Structure 1
Amino acid sequence: MKRNLNWPRLDLSSAENLMLELSDTSGPAPSFDLSKMAFTGVGDRVQQRDIEDVRNAIVELAEKRGFVLRHGFQQDPPASQDDLLQFDSDVFQVFHDLTPMTWSEAGSKEIWSWFSLVLLPDVTHWRWRFGSGSKSKGYRGIDWTPERWIGQDLTRHSWARHWWRTVQFKNDPRLAEGLREGEFNQITERSASIGTNPDLIVILTEELKSAFDEYRGDVPARDLIRDVAARFTREMSYLDDTLFDDSVLRAWSRRLINDSIAAYDPDSGAREFEG
């Protein structure tokens, strides 16, 4: 196992200034320079070879899905949505191991701003420039969602979300395969409820996938996930899920899935989902 490292931090003011450089075909240049970066005072600092390894690994994954390094921010033709989603899946498999750090370190918003705006700005641009399908004219333009670049919401940030999803799915990482971004978001971005309990995330995902197989075509997957997640959020306001064992979490998940299916299609009650 790799030792945990301290990673560079990019303060909010500097991050916002770099965001202003974004346009459809340009952005801040990638940099390996650590001399002006801030670090925490305790632990081993990341070295240039470490960040080079991270960038090279991510660029290699992106190139397999249509990114052309020499084109920088001027990628043409655009990547397909399927390629971008597969890139997300590829990154999810390796990113946590590429970037060893403590939970405390990974909770720093400034670290993730550095990843997206200093180490990987061209890849981040490629991921969202074509994924959004918009014609943004810059940070103050139409669609450069700040949360994807600046570490404001770590469940939505381009790179932080992969790191923390690995933690959330640590009990069974294979379950994350096949979930689309919007489906991921409904489960893992509810950081004040479902997203804090890896056991619940795994069990709920297992039960949802079973429900998808049984009701395929009857209930849209994203609608079902959204409704189930909302029901969990309401009930978790007065229930402590950390006191429940796996059998209770599974029964709870099935009940709320059945409630959601019945609300979407009242005729489905005759064939209640049993997992």
Structure 2
Amino acid sequence: MGLLYPRLLAGQAKPLHETYRRLPVAELTRRAAISHDSAVYVATGGDRVSEDKLRDLRRLAVDLAMDSGFPDEGTRDSRTAFDLRIASALHTEMDLVPAEAASGDVWAFLALVLLPDIAYWRYPVPPGDRVLGTDLTRHVFGRMWWRAQLVHSSEDPDPYAALNILGEAAFDQIYARRKALGNSPHLVKAILRVWNELDLKGFNERDILRDFLKRLLRLAPFVLFESLSDDVLDAELRVSVRETVTATLAETNLTAEEQRLKAEVVFSRTQHVMDAMM
């Protein structure tokens, strides 16, 4: 059973955001706290997180941010590196169950009470959904916890290695379809495994991924993905992504032979993986 975290409800979170989005990071550091008078907890479901645990969590997040240039603006690469580090750190340290992590009010507390300086450093003058928890695919911390949750593999030497396979925009395409696809870590891990096999140089990867996911959505009513073994599921996904690549190449001016050769390049790594399994 996981820990219960304070929740900052919308009535308190929204005015706080309107104030904080105009303040410098140094002032937000002074206002960071481990509690808020208006914070609430759900009545049942686990033990409340301790103040010491919240202090440790803040200390960890600040250290990771400083490694990426906090409190200075930093670079796009340094901010991306912070995202990946904070994803695995939050997932490892918070002891959250998915039901608690699905509450936007929990993430509003983290962004506006415990870690406001980190939140507004990561997204200066952000729109509300980056800190309020109204959309967990956009929240500065919530989206990263969920990415870690969906890719976590305890059997691997690096349980969070798959975080590096897709960027934020691409991963959001999967999570945005969470009702059919994104709520299944088993399926998400398979998508990432198969995607990591592809050589999509010269293609628009975002368009390929979008079409691939559409094909999986059409399969979802007929295939119980969770019931398939890794090997069988991977094979099923490879069929769908091959259909996507074939359809994409068919819309080009390439000859049939040129299309075939280009498809071979895309799936050259896939063939190596399959050969190694035989």
Greater than 6 Å deviation, 4+ residue runs = none
* Aligned-pair CA distance for 1:237: 4.5
Aligned partner of 1:16 in structure 2 is 14
Q: Does 1:165 align with 2:165?
A: no
AA matched with 1:46:
V
1:249 to 222, 230, 233: 233
Q: Taking structure 1 as reference, are residues 178 and 207 closer, same or farther at Cα in structure 2, changes over 3 Å only?
A: closer
Aligned partner of 1:227 in structure 2 is 211
Q: CA–CA distance in 2 between the matches of 1:17 and 1:84?
A: 27
Q: How do 1:102-251 residues align onto structure 2 when only pairs under 5 Å count? A: 102-129=97-124, 136=125, 144-171=126-153, 173-211=160-198, 214-215=199-200, 217-251=201-235
Aligned partner of 1:87 in structure 2 is 82
Aligned partner of 2:255 in structure 1 is none
Q: Does 1:53 align with 2:83?
A: no
2:40 to 29, 38, 41: 38
> Residue by residue, what CA displacement relative to the aligned partner does 1:129-168 show, whole Å, maximum 9, x if unpaired?
2xxxxxx5xxxxxxx3322211222233211222222221
User: Percent same amino acid at aligned positions?
Assistant: 27
Structure 1 or 2, whichever has the larger Rg, is 2
CA RMSD of aligned residues (A): 2.3
* Aligned-pair CA distance for 1:256: 1.8
TM-score (norm: length of structure 1): 0.81
AA matched with 1:236:
A
The gaps in structure 2 that reach 5 residues or longer are 154-158, 251-257, 271-278
Q: CA–CA distance in 2 between the matches of 1:156 and 1:35?
A: 26
> Residue by residue, what CA displacement relative to the aligned partner does 1:164-204 show, whole Å, maximum 9, x if unpaired?
22221123531222432122222233211221111211111
Aligned partner of 1:63 in structure 2 is 66
Mapped contact 1:18–1:117 kept (Cα < 8 A): yes
* Aligned-pair CA distance for 1:24: 5.3
Q: CA–CA distance in 1 between the matches of 2:37 and 2:3?
A: 17
Aligned partner of 1:4 in structure 2 is 2
* Aligned-pair CA distance for 1:34: 4.7
The gaps in structure 1 that reach 5 residues or longer are 69-74, 130-135, 137-143
Q: Which has more helix, going by share of residues?
A: 2
Q: Secondary structure at the match of 2:95?
A: coil
> Residue by residue, what CA displacement relative to the aligned partner does 1:183-235 show, whole Å, maximum 9, x if unpaired?
22222332112211112111111111111xx33x2213333222212322233
User: Structure 1 stretch 113-122 or stretch 35-44: which is displaced more?
Assistant: 35-44
User: Structure 1 stretch 190-199 or stretch 55-64: which is displaced more?
Assistant: 190-199
Q: Secondary structure at the match of 2:189?
A: helix
Q: CA–CA distance in 2 between the matches of 1:7 and 1:163?
A: 14
AA matched with 2:42:
T
AA matched with 2:177:
R
Mapped contact 2:35–2:113 kept (Cα < 8 A): no
Count of aligned residue pairs for this structure pair: 249
AA matched with 1:112:
W
> Residue by residue, what CA displacement relative to the aligned partner does 1:26-81 show, whole Å, maximum 9, x if unpaired?
4863222355421122332122211111111001000011112xxxxxx4xx2211
Q: CA–CA distance in 2 between the matches of 1:81 and 1:25?
A: 22
TM-score (norm: length of structure 2): 0.80
Q: CA–CA distance in 2 between the matches of 1:169 and 1:5?
A: 21
Q: How do 1:254-269 residues align onto structure 2 when only pairs under 5 Å count? A: 254-266=238-250, 267-269=258-260
AA matched with 2:55:
E
* Aligned-pair CA distance for 1:90: 0.9
